Structures are given as C-alpha cells and as structure tokens.
Amino acid sequence: MYSKFVLALSTALLTLVGAAQAQEAVEIGVVVELSGAGAPAGTNWRDGIRIAVDEINAEGGILGKPVKVTEYDTQTDPQISRALVQKAIDGRAYAIWGTIYSGSTLVNMLVAQQNGVPQFVGSEAPTIVEKGNPFVFRTSSGAQKGVPALVPYFKDTLKAKKVGVAWVNNEFGRGGRNVFIAEMKKAGIEVVTDVPSEQAQTDYASDVSKLKQSGADAVFVYMNQEESARFLIEAKKQGLSMPLVGEVTLTEAKVIELAGPAAEGAIAHVGITATADQVEGIAAFREKFVKTFKRVPTHDAIKGYIGAWTTKYVTELVGKFDGEAFSEKMHGLCLPATKYPRILLDTCWDNRGEVSRPSFMVQVRNGSPVVIGTVPAN
Amino acid sequence: MMSQFLQVLLSGLATGSIYALVAIGFALVWQAAQTINFAQGEFVMLPAFLVLVGLNYFDLPLWGALLFGLAMSILILGAAFKKLVVEPILPHGGITLVIATIALGILIRESVKEFYSAEGQPFPSVLPSDPINIFGAVVSLQDILNLVLSLGIVVLLTLFLNRTRTGRCMQATAQNPAVAEILGVDVKRMVLYTFLINAALAALASFLITPVYLAKFSNGETLGLIAFIAAIVGGFNQIRGALVGGLLIGVLDNLVATYVTAEYRAALPLILLILIILVRPQGILGTPEGRAV
C-alpha cells in the first residue's frame, strides 16, 4: 500500500515538474535605444517586437515555451548598451534583439559573441558584419548591399554625370557615404560635393547652399529621420532643383509627415517598408501595428518583428535552445515567405550574418510613398 | 558666390536670433535667482507640445492652441517652477538649485517622451513658409520674423527694465534683495515677474522654432547648450549680450560650415566659449561686476 502511494506521488510530481519545465519561459533581452537620440528608432523596434511576441506566444511560443522579453534602455549610449547586453545575458537571455544604432552595436556585439548568444540587430553600417562575429545577424541589409542597388538609378534613370552627397556624421551615415562614393567611382560618376552634417543638426542652410552651388545633377541624401525632414524643408526653401535620392529613410512615412510638402518627389531605395502593402504579410503587420499603437510602423518596427520571428523559426529548425547551433544554422540559411509567412519576404543570410531580400524603389507622390520599382535580392 | 555668402549670413542670423531668445532666459533667471536654469532648453521644447495637445486633444484652432500653450507655459514654467522648485530649494544654495534644474530638465524631457511620443512631430507654422528672394539668397517670412522679434524683445525688455517703476524694482531686487525689501520693494513679486517673463519668452521661442526644428522631446538638449554658451559669450549679465552671443554663434556656425569645415561645426560654440573665457571672461558685452538685469 505504502509503495503504491509513493509511486503515485512520484509520478504526479514528475508530471508536475515536466509541465513546469514545458512552461518555463524563454528569456529574450531587447536591448535598444528607448531614450536619447535613438528613441524614435528604438521604440519602433520594440513595438514591432511586442506584436511579434504576442503572436509567437499565441501560437505556442518557441518549442512549446512561452517567450518572456525583458526590455533594456541603452539611452543611445554605446557603453551603456554594452553593459546591458551583459546584464541581459546574466539574466539567462537566449537571444539579444537590438541594438539599432551602429555605434552601439559595434561595441555591444562583442559581449554577445563572447557568450555565444545570437543577436539580431537593426544596424546598417557595413562594418557590423565585417568583424567576423558569427553570432550577429542583420534584419535588413547593410549600406554595402543597399546603396549599390541605387547605382543603376543614378546611372541609367537619372543619367547623372555629377552627384553630391549629404550625410549625417555618425557610424550609419559614414558607412553609407563611403559605400556610395566607392560605387560612384566604379560607375564613372563624379562626386562633386561631399557635405557632412551633425546628428540632431537643425540648421541646414549651409549644407543646402553648398549643394546648390555644386552643379550636381542629383544628390544622395543619407541621414536619420528628423535630419532628413529638416534637410528636405531647407532644400525646398532654397529651391534645390536636382533629384534627391536616399537609402531607406528619405521616403519613410515619418519623414513625409514631418517634412510635409517639402518631401514631394524624394526618391529612395528601401530594403523593407510598410508602404509595400501589396505584400500580404507587410499589409497585415501594418494593420495590426496601426490598430495597436495608433501610428504607422517605420522600417525599424518591421525589422524588430522579423528578428523575433526569425528567432522562433530558426530555433524550431534547430530543435533545441542552443546558441552555437542556432548561429551555425543561420549562416547560409534562406527562409521563403511561402513557408515562413511572418518573415514577410523571402530572406537569406550569408555566412557573415548579412541579409539579402528583394527591395523597393519608392518615390513620394501626392504626399504618400509610392513603390515605383522592385529591386531583386542581391 | 555672393548669393551663397548672403544666404548663409541671413540664415545664420535667423538661427542665431532663436539662440538669442533662449539665451535671454538664462540671463533673466541668473539675475532673479542667482542660478543657472539648465532646464532652459526643455522650457523651449515643452510649449510646442502643449500647443500640439491643444490642437490634437482639445481640437482647438491654431490661434487657440497657441494661446493655450502660452497660458500653460506661463503657469507651469513660470509660476509653478518658481513656487515648487526655486522657492523651496534656493535657501539651500545656488548649486543645489542648479542640480535641481538639471533634474527638472530630465523630468520634462522624459515625461514628454513617455506621454506624447519619442518621435518628432510636425508643428504648424505661424507664418507662411513661402520663400522670399533677397539678391539671390532665399529666406522665409518666418526667418525674418524670428530676427525682428528677438531684436524687438531685447529693446522692449531693456526699456521695461530701465524706464518703468516695476522694471527698476526688478533691477533693485536683482542687485540686492535685502536692501530692496527694506526700501519697500515686493521682492517675491518681482522675482515672480522675472520667471513669468522667462516662461513667456520660452513659449514664444518655442512657437517660432518648432516649425523648422520639429517638435521632439530631445530638442532642448542641443538648444539649451548652445543658448547657454551664447549667453556666456555675449555676457551673462546683459540682455543685449544674449542677443549678440546668439547671433554670433548662428552666423559663425554657418560661415564655418560653408567655408572651412562642416565636420567640426558642433565644436565651434565650444571653441568660441574657450576663447571668450580666456580673453574676456565677462563676455563681449558683459561687465565684471554687472548686475544690470
């Protein structure tokens, strides 16, 4: 009688422990810019993740375990971001989602690498994937992939012989500017003026004036959102007549909202955008985001969303929570949107963590970004 | 090339006049409370969001929202700031109050971010933004208004302080509160006036710059720092010094970015600050023992 009781009790206990283990949450560290200059990008990234995590948990979590996210605010400070990545890993984070500012990512990704923790970042500076870090993965292509996609537009569509560059003097801007100048050189197009500006700069009179005097046929504009809007406002004021072409941000909905009529006609190559609502997954995400947060998502929100879903898909492909195995699986992996719908577009990662997917050419027309062409994955 | 020079000069004056409006606030608070209000940049950021609240949450017309923003600014940044921050903390020493204003700046900044948005917001222009061509240089009516207003405010404020009884009482309070009180000046009231004027000026600066700067919670950081430097460069104890400092930084910033280097333009105000401290510590128009308000 006694032995039967002990057996029953042990079985019940084992069942309970098993159930508890199955329900033990997967810790994820969202380390991102929630205050300081990077807050607009960071809050979008976080909100995209919040939507993804709700969906993932509604669909049974990752390998049957619910996802538990802890949010850490880097204050847009690289050193703080480094400490927070360490804190997240000390808190048993299985993966890190963030950061967005390249200057921060370059500093904190070493911590994730040393601990063998996969990290999805929103950063686009070329240097991120050139450091040989096997644990860092982009959520949208870096400038060295995005900017070359613009060359045919400058060369064949605009038939530009001389161009100007206006860029924001941070890691992101410098990366894009260097790639652009190298690509123009290869294409035989002369860069006649090179105008750096400061992050959070407000007065663009001098910058626009220099571009106006340069005799350029077109200008490549590579800045963050608010800076892009202020630049466009000043460009309109001074009557800058040449085409203004950017990468990603220049035609973002937020830039159009801020710049108003000054954004009209601006053109950009966009890796991923909520504007591309002809893509079913993007339209559904956009609708859900607008309903939840009462605003249109930026590309950073979509990037955060994709990073979260990729973590689920790839972990389930691996079949266990193992950072090393995850990273190995990611290199050279392609996820087709037909089989993995929340990836939104067919996406591949190379052996450096660089991402490749189809992209779009967008122009602002009548106050709205309009997709004017699709660029195949490179 | 001449039109380019004129362009950067005029744009520099327009931007500098904004720095001047904010810098005047530094000078005023220094005179009234012998402290530096490091939340001055946030004092300029907040009124724009109060206008946006009036527009978007109370559906007020633009003029109504501007009046709402002005009234709320005077109440919060003038009366409440004086009553809740300055009065209780000032007896503990100037440095305590300086630290309190730094904390206040962070509180305002993070509150706006939390309760409104971290993203920049468009802000309606009070005046049409149609370009006006002046010998090949292009400015807007808004630019001209910025310049005219800051010049006008310096003149009016100087006249008010020097030619009216209330203004002279305010000066007396600034120079020696104890003696002023013995002579029958209502010191508390005079100090309150100073804070109310500062709040109104901050609101005005906010309404003028936000159409171009865009409404963003972090706007005060850069603006506050540059205006602080402008006040020191011009002379911290002179209102006209704030104007000179503001205009100088605005113009030099544009000229250096155009003709020397744009990569180090952010360092220019700091270089100017070091030079002034070395060569003329009281500022261009300041007086060594000045208490002129």
* Distance, C-alpha B118 to centroid of its chain: 23
Whether A160 and chain B come into contact, CB under 8 Å, resolves to no
Spatial neighbors of A156 by CB under 8 A, at least 6 apart, are: none
Pairing verdict, β A267-270 and A334-335: unpaired
A304 with A48: CB under 8 angstroms?
A: yes
Whether the pLDDT of residue A20 is over 50: the answer is: no
Residues of chain B in contact with residue A230, where contact means CB-CB under 8 angstroms, are: 212-214
The C-alpha of B202 sits at a distance from chain A's nearest C-alpha, in angstroms, of 18
**From CA A114, how far away is CA A246, in angstroms rounded?**
36
Tally of CA atoms within 13 A in the half-sphere of A112 that contains its CB: 35
Is there a contact between A196 and B262 if contact means CB atoms under 8 Å apart?
Answer: yes
Relative orientation angle of helices B141-163 and B187-213, to the nearest 10 degrees = 170
Whether the pLDDT of residue A109 is over 50: the answer is: yes
The residues with which A71 forms a beta bridge, in sequence order, are: A30
Q: For residue B289, what pLDDT is reported? A: 55
pLDDT digits (tens, 9 = 90+) for A231-244: 999 999 888 999 99
Closest chain B residue to A229, measured at CA: B214
Domains of chain A: residue spans and CATH: 21-141+278-357 (3.40.50.2300), 145-270 (3.40.50.2300)
Whether the pLDDT of residue A226 is over 50: the answer is: yes
Is there a contact between B214 and A213 if contact means CB atoms under 8 Å apart?
Answer: no
Whether the pLDDT of residue A48 is over 90: the answer is: yes
Whether the pLDDT of residue B22 is over 70: the answer is: yes
Spatial neighbors of A62 by CB under 8 A, at least 6 apart, are: A26, A56, A311, A312, A315, A316, A321
Is there a contact between A196 and B119 if contact means CB atoms under 8 Å apart?
Answer: no
Closest chain A residue to B132, measured at CA: A237
Q: For residue A7, what pLDDT is reported? A: 52
CB atoms within 10 A of CB A91: 12
Q: For residue B292, what pLDDT is reported? A: 47
Average pLDDT, chain B: 87
Q: How confident is the model at residue A341 (pLDDT cuts 50, 70, 90)?
A: very high
Residues of chain B in contact with residue A200, where contact means CB-CB under 8 angstroms, are: 218, 221-222
Q: How confident is the model at residue A113 (pLDDT cuts 50, 70, 90)?
A: very high
Closest chain B residue to A199, measured at CA: B266
pLDDT digits (tens, 9 = 90+) for B225-280: 999 999 999 988 788 888 899 999 999 998 988 888 887 888 888 999 999 999 99
Only one residue has tokens 């109504």, namely: B64
Please give the C-alpha separations between residue A357 and each of A155, A282, B7, B209, B217, in angstroms, as whole numbers. Answer: 23, 14, 44, 41, 35
**From CA A135, how far away is CA A110, in angstroms rounded?**
9
Is there a contact between A34 and B262 if contact means CB atoms under 8 Å apart?
Answer: no
Whether the pLDDT of residue B4 is over 80: the answer is: yes
What are B191's two structure tokens? 């100090």
Domain borders along chain B are 2-279
In the stretch 2-61 of chain A, residues with CB closer than 8 A to chain B read 34-37, 39-40, 42-43
Provide mean pLDDT across the span B135-149: 84
pLDDT digits (tens, 9 = 90+) for A294-321: 888 988 999 999 999 999 999 999 999 9
The C-alpha of B212 sits at a distance from chain A's nearest C-alpha, in angstroms, of 7
In the stretch 288-317 of chain A, residues with CB closer than 8 A to chain B read 295
Whether the pLDDT of residue A41 is over 80: the answer is: yes
The C-alpha of A223 sits at a distance from chain B's nearest C-alpha, in angstroms, of 14
Whether the pLDDT of residue B85 is over 80: the answer is: yes
Question: For chain B, how long is the longest CA-to-CA vector?
Answer: 61
Q: How confident is the model at residue A18 (pLDDT cuts 50, 70, 90)?
A: very low
Whether A367 and chain B come into contact, CB under 8 Å, resolves to no
pLDDT digits (tens, 9 = 90+) for B117-127: 877 889 988 77
Q: The complex's ipTM?
A: 0.81
Is there a contact between B218 and A203 if contact means CB atoms under 8 Å apart?
Answer: no
Closest chain A residue to B251, measured at CA: A206
Is there a contact between B218 and A237 if contact means CB atoms under 8 Å apart?
Answer: no
Most confident stretch, A57-61, B10-14, B85-89, B191-195: A57-61
What are A366's two structure tokens? 């009548």
User: Percentage of chain A surpassing pLDDT 90?
Assistant: 68
For residues A138 and A141, the model is more confident at: A138
Give the Cα-Cα-Cα angle A65, A66, A72 (nearest 5 degrees). Answer: 125
Residues of chain B in contact with residue A205, where contact means CB-CB under 8 angstroms, are: 7-8, 11-12, 15, 254
For residues B257 and A327, the model is more confident at: A327
Whether the pLDDT of residue A89 is over 80: the answer is: yes
Whether the pLDDT of residue A4 is over 80: the answer is: no
User: Percentage of chain A surpassing pLDDT 70?
Assistant: 94
Radius of gyration of chain A (CA): 23
Average pLDDT, chain A: 90
Q: Write the class of the CATH domain B2-279.
A: mainly alpha
* Distance, C-alpha A316 to centroid of its chain: 23
**From CA A246, how far away is CA A127, in angstroms rounded?**
20
Peptide bond into A99 cis (omega under 30): yes
A205 with B12: CB under 8 angstroms?
A: yes
**From CA A36, how far away is CA A43, in angstroms rounded?**
11
pLDDT digits (tens, 9 = 90+) for B34-48: 778 899 999 999 999
Q: For residue A17, what pLDDT is reported? A: 46
Residues of chain B in contact with residue A239, where contact means CB-CB under 8 angstroms, are: 131, 138
What 8-state DSSP symbol labels residue A67? E
Whether the pLDDT of residue A282 is over 50: the answer is: yes
Whether the pLDDT of residue A9 is over 80: the answer is: no
SS3 (DSSP) at A270:
strand
Closest chain A residue to B143, measured at CA: A237
